[in-house]
Amino acid sequence: MAESKQPSWAELKPYQKIILHPLEQDWDTLEPNQKKKWVKMTKYYLEKTPQEQQRIQSQMRSWSALTPEQRKQVRERYKKIKKLPTDKRQEVKQKWRKPEELPENNSK
């Protein structure tokens, strides 16, 4: 059974190492599908605005700070959110991006 390409940290291209630097310490412990996702993201990273790049870097730092159990919980929440209707997903994304602008109570 052929396994999809899972590069080690040493096999990454120099620009990928720069972009993925926040994940360097955890790279070898990431699941193959996670590595694939992050490597794929590097192809589009340079097309992003500086603000979007900063957000991506921040997400990587946050992810690397999580324990394995916290990562599992985040992945489960993400799976649940992906099943929501588009309008509800957009509502959740909006809350993530600007939590300081949200009302204290949620009416929905």
CA-to-CA distance for 32 and 20, rounded, in angstroms? 15
Write the DSSP symbol of residue 11.
G
Q: Is the pLDDT of residue 100 over 60?
A: no
| Residue that wins the pLDDT comparison between 37 and 101 | 37
pTM tops 0.75: no
Task: Give yes or no for a contact between 48 and 41, defined as CB atoms under 8 angstroms apart.
Answer: no
Name residues whose C-beta falls within 8 Å of residue 8's C-beta, 6 or more positions apart in sequence. Answer: 27, 28
When pLDDT is cut at 50, 70 and 90, the band that residue 77 belongs to is confident
Which whole number is the average pLDDT over 2-10? 71
Summarised one tens digit per residue, pLDDT across range 17-62 is: 999 999 998 898 888 888 998 999 999 998 999 999 999 989 888 8
